[in-house]
Structure 1
Amino acid sequence: MVLYWFEFSNTPFSFSSFWDVLKSQFLESFTFDMRGMSVSLIILGIFLGVVSGLFFITLRRKNKLIGTQQQLLLRDLEELIEAGENERVEFKSSIRYDYFRKTTNRELELVIAKTISGFMNAKGGKLIIGVDDDGSVLGLEKDFKTLKHKNRDGYEREVYRIISTQLGHEACFSNHTSFYGLNEKEVCVIDIEPSKKPIYVNDTGATTFYVRTGNATYPLTVKEAVDYLEARKL
């Protein structure tokens, strides 16, 4: 308001005159004639203060709730790993890095696709990557080094590329990735929903039907797949 006063008046600007005008405008706001505007500004200030306070309180509570939920999820994950592999849980050391050959092995991507399809053709489940068969947490560091984008985003894109290439684009919508820190190492968890339609793995032009049974994934012949799908409808 003070700046507008200088702009539309013929008074030359100076710091002393600026403070004089500012002081006079401030005092004028408390006069009888300006009481309406003053009250309005006070009410507006109180309202904005209350809204801001409530916003930050809500945000703080939300962050605290998210932190608590993450701790619970992490505890659940630790319990899953401790319980070992079963009909709904599978461990994989990596998606590309071969710990036996000590180098990148793209054939491991097909193994990941087979496991995911097996879960989708059964009851769904969790694929935990970065964990050895015996439950030892290996982390994703070596896998990260095989990627162009060596971070979680790059890893997630690679997971969905494998799913899309081997199982089809539609299968991506039934898989959800998340990352957790365990023993100062990162692991990736893929939550896999069961599919209403049969999911086939595209392996060098041939399509194969896999299903999760117990703690392993098995390929079925055409007849076995037909019988299995018919039985699942019942």
Structure 2
Amino acid sequence: MKVKRTTSKIGTIFIHALVGTGIFYFLVHPFTMVLYWFEFSNTTISFSLFREVLQERFLESFTLDMRGMGGLLALLGVLLGTISGLFWISLKKKNELIGTQQRLLQQDIAALINAGENERVEFKSSIRYDYFRKTTNRELELAIAKTIVGFMNAEGGKLIIGVDDDGSVLGLEKDFKTLKHKNRDGYQREVYRIISTQLGHEACFSNHISFYVVNEKEICVIDIEPSKDPVYVNDGADTTFYVRTGNATYPLTVKETVDYLKTQKT
């Protein structure tokens, strides 16, 4: 297996070096001679003259008298082609590594879903589409904000969107249809809008959004960091402190919030 990979790398470098040699010897070399001719001849350039000079210099560039210049450019082509081959191998290796990591992450996410909700994992069916009413429901955004705040005020966690309470993968297709931009970018912007509007712009930096495919359906995973400072949900006139306890998120009264924050500092 190792010998096969080494042979493949050598083959890739050889092909890139060969292509580089061909480009510099058969293209760069004659065009360089044409440019030099016009540079030192002080002749006004015209299309007919350029075509004539190109033909003459193209043929002349492959004569024995020009083997020195041709050899140097061919050598430069080999060098740049080799560098290109090494870069291609490095890029291919990096892409393979990223692909492997993504597959492992998908397996981890699937395992989290199978394990069910707990104090570090919460499922939400959607951010806007109401599966009961079969229509858009902006009130669901508040539930998303409460869950995120609860995690931030506790030990952090993962909010997995596109999965119902029983762990069934629903996907994001219904949610996508409620958005102006019906794709991952539009979805990510919508989630950050919810966070920024109801928690504050600073809270966006503590939430990291990723997308995965589980059971051939897209889901959204928000990795939520714990906050050093208390975070509140601003729902119009009300500002409420939420905290994650067990597999649920609870609002605290002012007194409960003060007591909780005291225990966190000790």
If the length of structure 2 is used for normalisation, what is the TM-score?
0.81
1:97 aligns to what? 129
Aligned Cα RMSD in Å?
2.0
Overall identity of the aligned pairs, in %: 71
Unpaired runs of 5+ in structure 2?
A: 1-31
Give distance in 2, aligned partners of 1:6 and 1:204: 73
1:185 aligns to what? 217
1:88, 1:124 within 8 Å by CA — same for their partners in 2? yes
TM superposition shift of 1:18: 4.5
If the length of structure 1 is used for normalisation, what is the TM-score?
0.91
TM superposition shift of 1:205: 1.1
Give distance in 2, aligned partners of 1:14 and 1:226: 83
Equivalent AA in structure 2 for residue 104 of structure 1: T
Residue 23 in structure 1 maps to residue 59 in structure 2: yes
Unpaired runs of 5+ in structure 1?
A: none
Residue of structure 2 aligned with 1:217, choices 245, 249, 260: 249
Query: Secondary structure of 1:26's partner?
Result: coil
In the TM superposition, what are the counterparts of 1:158-197 in structure 2 within 5 Å? 158-197=190-229
1:146-195 Cα offsets, whole Å, 9 max, x none, are: 11111111111110110011101110100010111112211000000000
Q: How many pairs align?
A: 229
1:120 aligns to what? 152
As a proportion of its length, which structure holds more helix? 2
Query: Secondary structure of 2:62's partner?
Result: helix
Give distance in 1, aligned partners of 2:212 and 2:61: 58
2:62, 2:70 within 8 Å by CA — same for their partners in 1? no
Give distance in 2, aligned partners of 1:230 and 1:69: 40
Equivalent AA in structure 1 for residue 262 of structure 2: E
Equivalent AA in structure 2 for residue 3 of structure 1: V
Query: Secondary structure of 1:219's partner?
Result: strand
In the TM superposition, what are the counterparts of 1:24-63 in structure 2 within 5 Å? 24-27=60-63, 28-30=65-67, 35=68, 37-63=69-95
Give distance in 2, aligned partners of 1:51 and 1:62: 16
2:11 aligns to what? none
TM superposition shift of 1:20: 4.2
Equivalent AA in structure 2 for residue 135 of structure 1: G
TM superposition shift of 1:204: 2.1
Query: Secondary structure of 2:122's partner?
Result: strand
Q: 1:25 to 1:121 in 2, by over 3 A?
A: same
1:6, 1:13 within 8 Å by CA — same for their partners in 2? no
2:116, 2:167 within 8 Å by CA — same for their partners in 1? yes
Equivalent AA in structure 2 for residue 78 of structure 1: A
Residue 3 in structure 1 maps to residue 39 in structure 2: no
Give distance in 1, aligned partners of 2:72 and 2:50: 31
1:180, 1:187 within 8 Å by CA — same for their partners in 2? yes
Equivalent AA in structure 1 for residue 170 of structure 2: L
Q: 1:42 to 1:205 in 2, by over 3 A?
A: same
Give distance in 2, aligned partners of 1:187 and 1:69: 17
